[in-house]
Structure 1
Amino acid sequence: MAGLIVHEWIERHGGSENVVDEMAAAFPDADIHCLWNNAEDRYPGRTVTESWLARTPLRRSKAAALPFMPATWANTKVSHADFVLISSHAFAHHAGGRQPADGPQRFVYVHTPARYLWAPELDVRGGNPVARAIAPVLRQIDRRRAQDGATFAANSDYIRQRMERAWGVEATVIHPPVRVEYLQSVRSWADQLNDADAYLFSTLPTEFVLGASRFVDYKRLDVAIRAGELAGLPVVLAGAGPHYAELSALADKASVPVIFVTRPSDELLFALYQAASLLVFAAVEDFGIMPVEAMTLGTPVLVVAEGGASESVNALDGGVVLESLDDATLREAVELALMLDMTPAQDRVNALFGSAAFAFKLTNWVGHPVNASGTDRTIAS
Structure 2
Amino acid sequence: MTSTPTPNQLRAQQLMAKHKMCIVHDWMTVMGGAEEVLKVMHELLPVPIHVAQYNAEKLKWAENADVRRHWISNLPLSKTKHYLYSPVLADVYRGFDLSEYDVVVSVSHTFAHHAKARPDAVHFGYYHTVARALWVPEIDGRVGEGFLRRKIADRLRRLDLEAAKNFTYVTANSNTAGARVEKFYKRPLDNVLYPCVNTEKWRDTPRDGDDEGYVMWSRLIPYKKFDLAIEAAKKLGFKLHVVGSGPYEPELKAMAQGHNNIIFDGRLPDAELKKLLSRAKGVLFPAYEDFGIVPVEAMAAGLPVVVFNQGGASETVLPEFGEHIAAQTPDELVAAIQRLEKKTYDPIALKAHAEKYSEERFRGELLDFIEAAIERGPNRRFIE
TM-score above 0.5, yes or no: yes
Q: Note if 1:340 corresponds to 2:344.
A: yes
Q: Note if 1:330 corresponds to 2:333.
A: yes
Alpha-carbon distance in 2 for matches of 1:34, 1:78: 12
Aligned to 2:192: 173
Aligned to 2:98: 78
Q: Note if 1:218 corresponds to 2:237.
A: no
Mapped contact 1:209–1:277 kept (Cα < 8 A): yes
Mapped contact 2:95–2:115 kept (Cα < 8 A): yes
**Cα offset, 1:275, TM superposition:** 2.1
Aligned to 2:308: 304
Alpha-carbon distance in 1 for matches of 2:330, 2:160: 41
Alpha-carbon distance in 2 for matches of 1:120, 1:331: 28
Mapped contact 1:281–1:291 kept (Cα < 8 A): yes
Look up the SS of the partner of 1:85 in the other structure. Answer: strand
Structure 1, 256-265 or 168-177: larger mean CA deviation: 256-265
**Cα offset, 1:229, TM superposition:** 4.2
Aligned to 2:376: none
Mapped contact 2:290–2:311 kept (Cα < 8 A): yes
- Tell me the amino acid that sits aligned with residue 298 of structure 2: A
Distance 1:362 1:317, change over 3 A: farther
Aligned to 1:132: 150
Q: Note if 1:267 corresponds to 2:271.
A: yes
**Cα offset, 1:307, TM superposition:** 1.7
Instruction: Output one character per residue of 1:317-365: Cα deviation in whole Å (capped at 9) or x when no partner.
Output: 3211111356664344213323232321212211x10100111111101
**Cα offset, 1:150, TM superposition:** 3.4
Q: Note if 1:115 corresponds to 2:132.
A: yes
Aligned to 2:161: 143
Q: Note if 1:319 corresponds to 2:337.
A: no
Instruction: Output one character per residue of 1:36-56: Cα deviation in whole Å (capped at 9) or x when no partner.
Output: 321274335432211231243
Distance 1:294 1:205, change over 3 A: closer
Instruction: Output one character per residue of 1:75-99: Cα deviation in whole Å (capped at 9) or x when no partner.
Output: 21222113111111111111116x6
| 2:362 pairs with one of 358, 364, 376 | 358
**Cα offset, 1:185, TM superposition:** 4.2
Distance 1:242 1:64, change over 3 A: closer
Give unpaired runs (5+ residues) of structure 1: 191-203, 370-381
Mapped contact 2:205–2:275 kept (Cα < 8 A): no
| 2:289 pairs with one of 285, 288, 305 | 285
Alpha-carbon distance in 2 for matches of 1:219, 1:226: 14
RMSD of Structure 2 on Structure 1 (CA): 2.5
Look up the SS of the partner of 1:4 in the other structure. Answer: strand
Alpha-carbon distance in 1 for matches of 2:230, 2:158: 42
**Cα offset, 1:143, TM superposition:** 0.6
| 1:47 pairs with one of 66, 69, 77 | 66
- Tell me the amino acid that sits aligned with residue 69 of structure 1: L
Instruction: Output one character per residue of 1:285-334: Cα deviation in whole Å (capped at 9) or x when no partner.
Output: 111111111111011111111221111102x8321111135666434421
Aligned to 1:235: 240
Aligned to 1:158: 176
- Tell me the amino acid that sits aligned with residue 82 of structure 1: D
Mapped contact 1:205–1:234 kept (Cα < 8 A): no
**Cα offset, 1:140, TM superposition:** 0.9
Q: What TM-score do you get using the length of structure 2 for normalisation?
A: 0.83
Distance 1:210 1:55, change over 3 A: closer
Alpha-carbon distance in 2 for matches of 1:164, 1:354: 26
Give unpaired runs (5+ residues) of structure 2: 1-15, 374-384
Mapped contact 2:205–2:301 kept (Cα < 8 A): no
Distance 1:242 1:106, change over 3 A: same
Look up the SS of the partner of 2:78 in the other structure. Answer: helix
Percentage of identical aligned residues = 32
Look up the SS of the partner of 2:101 in the other structure. Answer: coil
| 2:371 pairs with one of 354, 367, 371 | 367
Look up the SS of the partner of 2:254 in the other structure. Answer: helix
| 1:6 pairs with one of 6, 24, 36 | 24
Alpha-carbon distance in 1 for matches of 2:35, 2:330: 38
Distance 1:326 1:35, change over 3 A: closer
Alpha-carbon distance in 2 for matches of 1:152, 1:368: 11
Aligned to 2:252: 247
Alpha-carbon distance in 1 for matches of 2:38, 2:182: 24
**Cα offset, 1:32, TM superposition:** 1.3
**Cα offset, 1:235, TM superposition:** 1.4
